[in-house]
Structure formats: structure tokens, C-alpha cells
Chain A
Amino acid sequence: MKVEQIAIFLENKSGRLAEITSILAEKGINIRAMSLADTADFGILRLIVNDTENARKVLKEKGFTVGTTEVIVVEVADKPGGLAGVLQTLKKSEINIEYMYAFTQKSGETGLIIFRFEKLDEAINALVKSGVRLLSGEEVYAI
């Protein structure tokens, strides 16, 4: 149910993102999903990759600050209202979302939403109860 995500600290300097992607490419690591949070002074790059442990290792070796967090990946129907139902469930259970990002699958039938919660287990329970499908780590890394 829980999926590993790595986060990398980035200063606002040109070329930092390119460097990260090159390091991962060199090691044959594939990026499954990504989002970048930016502020005036720094950015936080969040990645889901097919080999979390290795990605973490090589980035650390190159001197980046890397953290890992658990997120969940929710499958929603790729049509209007697909996400709204999921968010309603969370609202009812009074669960706060720290952040989220989304991508659609190749098939175009479903969208995948990545959620970061403080209360991860509560969120999982609430979503499972409401019949939402959560992807396992293996499923996500192999997409």
C-alpha cells in the first residue's frame, strides 16, 4: 500500500535538476513520477523511481541531501469527478493532505494520484474502506 518516494534538496541554481537526472540515467534508474516544489530560495524534488535504494545511494554519493518518505498512490478513473470522490472521502475523515501530484497512465483509462499525509495509516484505512484502489510499491515501480 505504501510507496517509497525520494526527496532531494535543491538550491535555486541552474543545472541542478539536469545533474540529478543525468546521475540517475547513468545508473539506469528510471523515473516513474516526479514533482518539484519551489520556494524563493530552494526547491524540493520528489521522485518515485524503479530502484529507490540505488537512487538514494548514488545521489548521496554525489553529495545531495536525500530523504525517503512513504506516500500512497491512488488509482482514479480518468474522467471528470474521478479525483473528487477520493477527496470527499478524505474530507469526511478529516484527513489533511500535505501535498499531492498526479499523472495519467499510458492506457488513458486511469489517473494516478500520489498523496503525502502526516496520518498515513488513517488515510489508507479511510480510502480502502471507501473502495478506492491503492497501488502497491511493486506496481508503481514497474509501471
Chain B
Amino acid sequence: MLFNEEYETLPREALEALQLKRLRAQIERVYATVPYYRGKMDEAGVLPGDIKTLADISKLPFTTKEDLRKNYPFGLFTVPLERVVRIHASSGTTGQPTVVGYTKRDIAIWAELMARCLTAAGATPKDIIHNAYGYGLFTGGLGAHYGAENLGATVVPISGGNTKRQIMLMRDFGSTVLLCTPSYALNLAEAMTDMGIDPKEMALKVGVFGAEPWSENMREEIEKKLGIKAIDIYGLSEIIGPGVAIECAEEQKGLHVMEDHFLPEIVHPETFEPLPLGEKGELVFTTLTKEAFPVIRYRTKDFSRLITNPCACGRTFFRMEKVTGRSDDMLIIRGVNVFPSQIEHVLISIKGVEPHYQIIVNREGSMDTLEVQVEVSDTVFSDEVKQLEGLAKKIQHEIKDLLGVSCKVKLVEPKTIQRSEGKAKRVIDNRKI
């Protein structure tokens, strides 16, 4: 099924002509309206007029998370705030979020892209969509919500948490489509079993899972336990949110990139040279139609490759391989982006706490668990249990406050955390992603 047959099946030549037209207009506009981008382009010695072919995109400078941070909060918006109808934000390092804005048209396009994704996954206007992505500053909940409404399905804006109630409503409403993170999907399956409900007796037929990396093994597990088809969705708030790319139900092999709105590139993770089609490297996106917050050659730090073979579903959009790794130390814990440096920031801000720490990530059952081990120095040590437990609770609370993710804090003896000569090995990730 296709939500927008005309665009989703454009012959490559027509698609590339459209991409070029949109790219040139976008670059013109960004150069004219955002001093920061103009500065970067001038520095690189490139003018909007130099972009004559799609390949010319490689002349443009990259945009990184660092650039977004430097322009916090609204420095990269290309329209006055009065035209911005919504703001989302994702967690950033050291507590400063990445802020993104949308005009009315951006929201409409986003809703179209999400509707395309839901359709690709097999959802129709007849479906009841249980949306357990978090509603709020995170793009997942609202992004998926507007897409489901746009499709004409019945959306249940359940958001996250309160698993038992979620299951009860899912059962009572006869929900057919589940939207959440893959780890929460497994969590739901387990909770159903605990409640004495056979997941297969639910009306669920398909799930659209994203916001965190997940393996083929996890897909099999979800499909088996819930008796549904599990579809991978990709997106990031810097580009638009969920809806950048989607697996089709026909093949479930690679995710079709919404190429009429986003131009994907794969670059070498160290030299940043563009790589030939089909090679694996860092995924880079340029938005072609975003109004409020366009990004030029945004480095996602996600590793993938582009698949150019035709697909059984008829979409002509290239597919990106499922993302499994990243080029930085960002962890995705239960759908939340966590940088080790954020945890460091919290520890340093607590008087007397040594920044010797280790982060241990496990997957227990289906849930990611985060343990932060902190060395007890003489300054924070106390002969009283309540003081030490209070310290652990305080660290836990501050991390939860800043990152929005709960963790276990374990106090350990000094020098037990490996000291390394160079880059400290801060993270032990035992998840098999």
C-alpha cells in the first residue's frame, strides 16, 4: 500500500530533478536567512549558485550537533518565531537540548511522511493505532500522532508508562497497530504474559518500532512473542523526527528514505569524503523542504549504507540499511539519547564526587538497564550508611533530572574502575544489538 503513490514511485530521473530543484531553493533560502550558515558557506568558498547538480552538494560544509549547540536555542531558524507553530527538543550533551522548530507547512509535511510510513507498515484508515511513544518535547509521540490522524486511523494517544493500563486499553479497544520503542514492545509482551493474557489473542497485527537501534534477533523475538509484523522506522529530531525512513511490510529489508524531502549521503566516517552508492559509512542528511529549521548535510553519526535495488513494494526511494552502530559514544537507553559526558557533568557537579565512573548497560529481559558505578573518595565517604545511600540517591536523582532516564548508582571502592592511558573506557555495553 502507498499513501502517496505519485511521489513514492517517481522514476529516479524525475525524483532527482525534483531533489535538485528543491535543494537549490533550500540553499538559496538558507544562505539568505541564516547568518551562521552563510558564514560557513563563505568560509568554504561556496555560493548557492555553485550547486548545479546533486553531486555538487559535497561542496557544502557539514552541519554537526556542535553547530546546533552553538546556535541554541533558535539561531538556525530561518523564519521569525511568529511563523513557528511548534518546538521540539532532544537531549543534548551537558544538559543543553537540541531545539528544533516547525512551521505549519513543516507539520503538514511531517504528518504526510508519517502517514506514508504507517501505510508502508500496513496500516490503513480502518486501524486503531496504539501510540505509546512519549508525548512531549520528544518528537516520537506527536510526530506519530499527527501521521496516524492524517492517515485517518483511530489514534490512541497513550504515551509511555503504566504498562498494565496500556495492555487493558489495547485489549478493550481492539488496537491493531502498536507504536513504541522495540524494547517497550518486548516489555509489553512480557507484561501481558504476567497478566495471564496471551499476546496472540490481541487484535494487534503490526508494530512500528523506532527511536533506538535493534537487531534482527530482536525483531524475530518481537514478532514471535506478539504475533505481529515488526517494522523498523528511522528518524531524528534534527531532520524532522520519526518518518525519515521506513521499512515496507513487503520486504522488511532496509528502510525507504523519503527522498523527495530528505537527501541522503553516505560519507567516510573519518575523512568525510562522499562514498560511492552501496558503501557503508556515516549517514548524512540534507532537508529539502523544511521551512523553520532546515539542515544542510547534517552528520547523524549513524552508520548505514544505501541500497539501490528495486523493491517489491514499488517505491523508488533508495533504502538505508538498518542502523546498528554509531561513530560517537552516544548510547540509546530505552529510547533516550545518553552521552557519557552528561553523566560526567552530573558527577562533577556533586561536591566531592570523583569523575571516575563507569557506565554499564545491560538488557534484562527486554528492558535496557543503566548502571553508573562511582568511586567513593575520602571526601564523600561517611561511616554512616544513610549518608552513602543518600549520595547514591542524589546522583541517581540528578541523572534522572538531566537525562530523563533512571539508572542504578553503585558505589565502588577507589581504583576499581580501570584507569586507561588514553581514552577512558567509560561504557560497557552488554546489549547484543
Binding site of A, secondary structure by majority: helix, strand, loop or mixed? Answer: strand
A99 and B384: CB pair below 8 A?
yes
A66 at the interface (CB under 8 A from B): yes
Instruction: A9 to B391: give the CA distance in the assembly, Å.
Output: 14
User: For B415, what are the chain A residues with a Cβ–Cβ distance below 8 Å?
Assistant: 63
Whether A65 contacts B378 in the complex (CB less than 8 A), given A41-B411, A42-B411, comes out as yes
B376, B383, B389, B411: which contacts A46 (Cβ < 8 A)? B383
**In whole angstroms, how far apart are the Cα atoms of A138 and B63 in the complex?**
70
The interface centre, meaning the residue of B412, B413, B415 with most chain A CB atoms within 10 A of its CB, is B413
**Which residue in A11, A46, A65, A99 is a CB contact (below 8 Å) of B381?**
A65
Instruction: Say yes or no: A65 contacts B377, CB within 8 Å.
Output: yes
- Residue contact A9 to B384, C-beta cutoff 8 Å: no
Are A66 and B378 closer than 8 Å at their CB atoms? yes
Contacts of B410 in A (CB 8 A): 41
Q: Which residues of chain B have C-beta atoms less than 8 A from A99's C-beta?
A: 384
- Interchain nearest-CB distance for A96 vs B (Å): 12
Closest to B408 in A: A41
- In the assembled complex, how far is the CB of residue A118 from the closest CB belonging to chain B, in whole angstroms? 9
Docked complex: B351-390 residues within 8 A CB-CB of A: 376-378, 381-385, 388-389
Most buried by A among B376, B383, B412, B414: B383
CA distance A16 to B416 in the complex (A): 13
Partner of B376, one of A37, A65, A116: A65
Give the chain A neighbours of B416 by CB distance below 8 A.
Answer: 11
Residues of B within 8 A of A69 (CB): 383
Q: How near does chain A come to B84, taking the closest CB pair, in angstroms?
A: 47
Contact yes or no, B413 A39, CB < 8 A? no
A116 touches B384 (CB 8 A): yes
Please state if A9 and B411 are interface contacts (CB–CB under 8 Å). yes
* Chain B residues whose CB sits within 8 angstroms of the CB of A42 once the complex forms: 376, 388, 411-412
Cα-based distance from A44 to B411 in the complex (angstroms): 12
Smallest CB–CB gap between A6 and chain B, Å? 8
Residues of B within 8 A of A50 (CB): none
Q: Size band of the A side of the interface?
A: 20 to 34
A112 interface contact, C-beta 8 A: no
Return the chain A residue nearest B410 by Cβ.
A41
- Chain B's nearest CB lies how many Å from the CB of A104? 23
B414 with A44: CB separation less than 8 A: no
The chain A residue sitting closest to B415, CB to CB, is: A63
Interface centre among A10, A11, A69, A116 (most CB of B within 10 A): A11
Report A-chain residues with C-beta under 8 Å of the C-beta of B412.
11, 42
A85 within 8 A of B: no
Q: Residue-by-residue, is B41-81 near A (CB-CB < 8 Å gives 1, otherwise 0)? A: 00000000000000000000000000000000000000000
Q: Evaluate contact between B378 and A44: CB separation under 8 angstroms.
A: no
Assembled-state Cα–Cα distance A11/B412 (Å) = 6
A9 touches B389 (CB 8 A): no
Q: Which A residues are CB-close (under 8 A) to B383?
A: 5, 7, 44, 46, 67, 69, 116
What separation, in Å, do the CA atoms of A5 and B384 have in the docked complex?
A: 12
Question: Which residues 10-44 in A have Cβ within 8 Å of B in the complex?
Answer: 10-11, 16, 37, 39, 41-42, 44
Nearest neighbor of A7 in chain B, beta-carbon distance: B383
A98 at the interface (CB under 8 A from B): yes
Cβ of A64 < 8 Å from any Cβ of B? yes
Other-chain contact of B413, A7, A46, A63, A67 (Cβ < 8 Å): A63
A42-B388, A65-B376 are contacts. A7–B381 as well, Cβ < 8 Å? yes
**B277: min CB distance to chain A, Å:** 52
Q: Can you offer 28 A-B residue contacts whose CB atoms are under 8 A?
A: A5-B383, A7-B381, A7-B383, A9-B381, A9-B411, A9-B413, A11-B411, A11-B416, A37-B385, A39-B389, A41-B392, A41-B410, A42-B376, A42-B388, A42-B412, A44-B383, A44-B384, A44-B385, A46-B383, A63-B413, A63-B414, A64-B414, A65-B378, A65-B381, A66-B378, A67-B383, A69-B383, A116-B384
Listed from nearest, the 3 A-B pairs whose CB atoms lie closest are A7-B383, A65-B381, A69-B383
